[in-house]
Structure 1
Amino acid sequence: MKSRRLFWNIVEKIEQLIESGLYQPGSRLPPERELAETFDVSRPTIREAIIALEVRERVEVKTGSGVYVLENKNAPKQLHSISAFELTQARALVEGEAAALAATTITDEELRDLKSTLDAMEQEENPEHADRDFHMIISRATRNNAILLAVENLWQVRDTNIEVKTAYKGVCSQSSSKRLHEHTVIYQALKKRDTQAARAAMHQHFNRLINALFEAKEAQALEEVRRQTIETRGLYSLSHVIREV
């Protein structure tokens, strides 16, 4: 039993290293001898762990070549093609209804927690974290696990998609006072248990955000046109051949 527990411990450690990115899919694991030294176990224990990893489809053993890391088929797929506009529209639809439902189910304790996030935003105490907490408290207050899961997944995209993170960072950092005001309006609607007002306030919040994203996109496009114009002008300008008489 002790030996069995030992090799499963090695399996878990290697899987953790794979998940951390140290061993990338397609890469080869270190040799058996090196793994035994790394984990301070015998080579037979490493062989047992490799067999278990192969059964779990985490690695592939290629005779004469080595042990190679496989893609995790059970890992959630990252939707890298989602744009900031698509995400914001989806959040507005889902979180708008979440706010409407939460208006009928939210507790006094949850309202106090919401108020605490507003205080943190006002005092600029990790406002991004407070922002996320605000939305998650509302989602949990719906008492609907499917809605909670949907909102968590949308936030996962927001936190991991590079394009979305960059776009949100640009607009959120420039509008902290507007964000605080909009969150306060949502909070007041929930406090009054007003379903329609809560939905409308959440929609207004995301409407302002998506318009800010469009404005930022337009400014970026104009800057790119300006840059290209300067480059073209430099390429075809005759100033370098004109001689003063």
Structure 2
Amino acid sequence: MSLNADSRLYQQVAEQLAEAITRGDFPVGTRLPAERKLAERFNVSRPTLREAVISLEIAGYVEVKGGSGVYITGQGGGVKASEKDVGALEVLEARILFESEAAGLAAKHITPEELAELEQTLQELVLESDEETPEESADRRFHLTIAKACKNAAIESTIEHLWRLRNNSPLPEAIISRVRQAGAKTRIKAHKDIFNALKAQDSEKAKAAMRNHLTHVVEQLLEASEAQAVEEAKQKSATNRARLKMLGG
């Protein structure tokens, strides 16, 4: 099955699956084929397929049941692309690019007042990370303070926009929620490393610390998604063992 290279892969997969559900290829109440098979069918990576499935879940086509699989729940409301439909990995890629460079620039221009603000935000981050369902408002303030410290309105506006995409676009928000549910929390040490590099006015270290932090966020996202797939595989294996035991008497 060919996919149009002009639009986002996860959107194309979601649209084609939605069309198949509407045609009745996958009746309501049945389970979608295994993730590996669907990824092979569409010739995409498993993270891309997971973004497509979450998009279908948001639109009302499917329900993801942990340890069981993905089930068809109805016709849904359509998953046509819009400007707000941005993949979580796309947002993180852009943040790595822009925020790493911004941290390097901020190290040259940050004021004592902004450093004090970052230090206060770090304390709030520690408190947030101890909460069962962290709001992450301190995390947002930390990053936007660094953007402000660049003393460049265009850079600040760009990073603010990326955070709006992260928090307000349906797909990234849904995936971030799954990362939280999997137990991934804000990494305090990573933020301290960024702060210390900024305080030392070390541009290269600030840039590297920000890149390391956001790269780890990508890894957390993929691990959380992978954990769901592993749990489903374990459940299937347990079911198979139970059946074999029954057959063996």
Separation in structure 2 between the aligned mates of residue 127 and residue 229 of structure 1, nearest angstrom: 36
Per-residue deviation, residues 39-87 of structure 1 (Å, max 9, x unmatched): xxxxxxxxxxxxxxxxxxxxxxxxxxxxxxxxxxxxxx6331x222221
Q: Which residue of 1 is the match for residue 45 of structure 2?
A: none
Matched, 1:79 2:81: no
Moved more, 155-164 or 113-122: 155-164
Separation in structure 1 between the aligned mates of residue 100 and residue 214 of structure 2, nearest angstrom: 9
3-state DSSP of counterpart to 2:83: coil
Q: 1:160 to 1:127 in 2, by over 3 A?
A: closer
Matched-pair contact (CA < 8 Å) for 1:98–1:138: yes
2:202 pairs, out of 194, 208, 213, with 194
Q: Which residue of 2 is the match for residue 182 of structure 1?
A: 190
Equivalent residues in 2 for 1:160-171, closer than 5 Å: 160-171=168-179
Q: Which residue of 2 is the match for residue 104 of structure 1?
A: 108
Which structure: larger Rg?
A: 1
Alpha-carbon distance, 1:219 to partner: 1.3
AA at the equivalent of 2:113: E
Equivalent residues in 2 for 1:67-146, closer than 5 Å: 78-80=83-85, 82-124=86-128, 128-146=136-154
Per-residue deviation, residues 128-186 of structure 1 (Å, max 9, x unmatched): 1110000000001111111111111111111112321232234357343x611111110
Matched-pair contact (CA < 8 Å) for 2:110–2:150: yes
Separation in structure 1 between the aligned mates of residue 180 and residue 115 of structure 2, nearest angstrom: 24
Q: CA RMSD in A?
A: 2.7
Q: Which residue of 1 is the match for residue 217 of structure 2?
A: 209
Q: Which runs of 5+ in 1 are unaligned?
A: 1-76
Give the TM-score, by structure 1 length: 0.58
Alpha-carbon distance, 1:232 to partner: 8.1
How many residue pairs match? The answer is: 163
Separation in structure 2 between the aligned mates of residue 155 and residue 223 of structure 1, nearest angstrom: 31
Q: 1:224 to 1:161 in 2, by over 3 A?
A: farther
Q: 1:116 to 1:233 in 2, by over 3 A?
A: same
Give the TM-score, by structure 2 length: 0.57
Matched-pair contact (CA < 8 Å) for 2:184–2:220: no
Matched-pair contact (CA < 8 Å) for 2:194–2:209: yes
Matched-pair contact (CA < 8 Å) for 1:106–1:141: yes
Matched, 1:155 2:159: no
Separation in structure 1 between the aligned mates of residue 111 and residue 180 of structure 2, nearest angstrom: 29
Per-residue deviation, residues 183-225 of structure 1 (Å, max 9, x unmatched): 1110000000000000000011011111111111111222334
Q: Which residue of 2 is the match for residue 33 of structure 1?
A: none
Percentage identity across aligned positions? Answer: 37
Separation in structure 2 between the aligned mates of residue 117 and residue 94 of structure 1, nearest angstrom: 21
Q: 1:231 to 1:183 in 2, by over 3 A?
A: same
Q: Which has the higher contact order (CA 8 A, sep 6+)?
A: 2
Matched-pair contact (CA < 8 Å) for 1:99–1:138: yes
